[in-house]
Amino acid sequence: MSAPVWNNKVVKWVDDRLPIISMVHHAAYEYPTPKNLSYMWNFGSLAGFVLVTMILSGIFLVMNYTPHADMAFDSVERIMRDVNYGWLIRYLHVNGASMFFICVYIHIFRGLYYGSYKAPREVLWWIGILILLAMMATAFMGYVLPWGQMSFWGATVITNLFSAFPVIGDPLVTWLWGGFSVGNPTLNRFFSLHYLLPFVILGLVVLHVWALHAVRSNNPTGVEIKTPQDSIPFHPYYTIKDLFGMGVFLIIYLYFVFFAPNFFGEPDNYIMANPLSTPAHIVPEWYFLPFYAILRSIDFEFLGIPAKLLGVLAMFAAIIVLFVIPWLDTSKVRSSRFRPVYKWFFVILVIDCFILGYCGAKSPADPFMGLHGLQVITVGQLATLYYFLHFLVVMPVVGKMERPKPLPASISESVLKGGANA
């Protein structure tokens, strides 16, 4: 890993003064990568690719968008109808948001399964959670910009969450709105922040990659790189693997853009915002549904804390708890591949999150999956309970109790034995 010698004089001249070329060479070319990464490791680079697509399409949308309560909806329709390829750029952006969350959620669950949050990768993991939080804020504010019915009422409901905080709640919400209800000042500040935050995300991604390169990639065995035989240079092996993954991803992404562009959307958002009429069902975008379910499942007081505040706290706690899992997980083994008991709890967690998503989409009093006598709210409460139990109880207890399967001595040993796929 010594600095490469540059033959080209111009390259050398620049690199002697600003070693940016060497830096990129280290990071994207010779970076020693475990040779056994599965396709689950593609989603980080895919998420980075979507981020770039989102920023690019967003910049071109802004050229034609008008952030004013009276004109935003019309300007979006003008983009769809009159601007050259405006429909394409908008649909890329709209579906890109969903694709971004799909990639990032898979990326997170991959990290959870293979213990990528454990020492020495805690800071890498933290930065990842910060990226998720920034993404959520960006996506929420972006959804408000077309100023449709769901934009308006979504903004109203979510900003009203902050009124749950005692004493400061009401002034805080008024401050967020810049008025006495969601209105033009709200739209303007959301637009400003929606443009700013992606660049904050980009900065966090740089830190994320930096931290990754300091501690090196985890891998399906969870065993660190020990000898040169365990690793291969990033280029060409993982560049081509990432590019192939990108091709597959683009086929899926662009299928939605061209043939089902409103699949992830809500019809109500094609109705202009109307402060006098609330849609029958206010539903957030799909990627918020599990959190929305946690929020709504708290319909009771606890320790004198009112239900509304408790719900808000639970929703935020669902993400905050991720910050401490490096210490909640007591297992000595990283990868769930060698954890016969925890593996099943992980599967339950994934199913639990899908159930929460389902509950978030339905009205609380609806029957769950058409089962009479079983209300969505009840299932949502149980699912919420498991979500927190998983991190706060299962992780520490199972880590201590279970007897892991024997680990391979090294990555290359596991590869040669071929038994790693078990």
Partner 1 sequence: MSQTVQSSGDKPDENRRDFLTLATTAVGVVGTGMALWPFVDSMNPSKDVLALASVEVNLSNIAVGQAIKVMWRGKPVFIRHRTEREIKEAEDVALNQLVDPETDDARVKKKEWLIVVGVCTHLGCIPMGTATGEPRGDFDGWYCPCHGSHYDSSGRIRKGPAPKNLHVPTYTFLTDTSVKIG
Partner 2 sequence: MRKFALTAIAAAFALTAFANNSKASEGVVPPAMDWSWQGLFGTYDRAQLQRGFQVFKTVCASCHSMRYLAFRNLEGIGFNDDQIKAIAAEYEVQDGPNDDGEMFTRTAKPSDHFPHPFANDKAAAAANGGATPPDLSLMAKARPHGPDYIHALLTGYEEEAPAGVEMAEGKYYNHYFASHQISMPPPLYGDDVEYTDGTEATIDQEVQDVTAFLNWIAEPELEARKAMGMKVLLFLIVLTAMLYAVKRKIWAKIEH
CB of 275 to partner 2, least distance (A): 13
Q: Which of 150, 200, 224, 198 is nearest to 52 (CA)?
A: 198
Rounded-to-integer distance, Cα 240 and Cα 234, Å: 9
Nearest to 207 by CA among 120, 134, 130: 130
HSE-CB at 241 with a 13 A cutoff on CA atoms is 19
Residue 57 found at the interface with partner 2 (CB under 8 A) = no
Contact range with partner 2 by CB under 8 A, out of 62-70, 131-139, 158-166, 251-259: 251-259
CB-CB neighbours of 35 under 10 Å: 16
Give yes or no: 285 in active site. Answer: yes
Quick one: which of 36, 116, 221, 335 contacts partner 2 (CB under 8 A)? Answer: 36
Q: Which of 149, 109, 419, 415 is nearest to 282 (CA)?
A: 149
d(CA 318, CA 352): 13
Considering only residues 24, 52, 63, 385, which one is a binding residue for partner 1 as defined by CB under 8 A?
63
**Residue of 232, 307, 324, 328 interacting with partner 2 (CB under 8 A):** 232
89 lines the binding site for partner 1 (CB under 8 A): yes
Residue 283 in contact with residue 269, Cβ under 8 Å? no
Asked if 102 touches partner 2 (CB under 8 A), the answer is: yes
Please report which helix (H) or strand (E) contains residue 374, including its range. Answer: strand 371-375
Q: Is 98 a catalytic residue?
A: no
Q: Give whichever of 81 and 372 is closer to partner 1, judged by the CB atom.
A: 81
Q: Residues 142 to 201: which contact partner 2 by CB under 8 A? A: none
Q: Half-sphere exposure (CA, 13 Å, Cβ side) for 153?
A: 21
Nearer to partner 2 among residue 175 and residue 255 (C-beta):
255
Beta strands in 225-342 (DSSP E): 231-233
Partner that binds at residue 161, options partner 1, partner 2, none, CB closer than 5 to 8 Å by kind: none
* Of residues 65 and 287, the one with the C-beta less far from partner 1: 65
Structural tokens at position 106: 């898979």
> Based on the number of CB atoms within 10 Å of its own CB, is 22 exposed (0-12), middle (13-18) or buried (19 or more)?
middle
Dmax (CA) for the chain in angstroms is 77
218's contact among partner 2, partner 1, none, with CB below 5 to 8 A by partner kind, is none
Q: Report the alpha-carbon distance of residue 349 to residue 385 in Å, rounded.
A: 11
Considering only residues 166, 267, 340, 419, which one is a binding residue for partner 2 as defined by CB under 8 A? 267
Q: Which of 14, 40, 71, 83 binds partner 1 (CB under 8 A)?
A: 83
Amino acid (1-letter code) at residue 364: P
Q: How far is the CB of 241 from partner 1 (least distance, A)?
A: 14
* Residues at the site binding partner 1, with contacts judged by CB under 8 A: 56-57, 60, 63-64, 78, 81-86, 88-89, 243
* Residues at the site binding partner 2, with contacts judged by CB under 8 A: 35-36, 38-40, 74, 77, 80-81, 87-88, 91, 102, 106, 232, 236-237, 240-241, 243-244, 247-248, 250-252, 254-255, 257-259, 261-264, 266-268, 270-272, 280-281, 283, 286, 289, 354, 357-358, 360-363, 366, 412, 415-416, 421
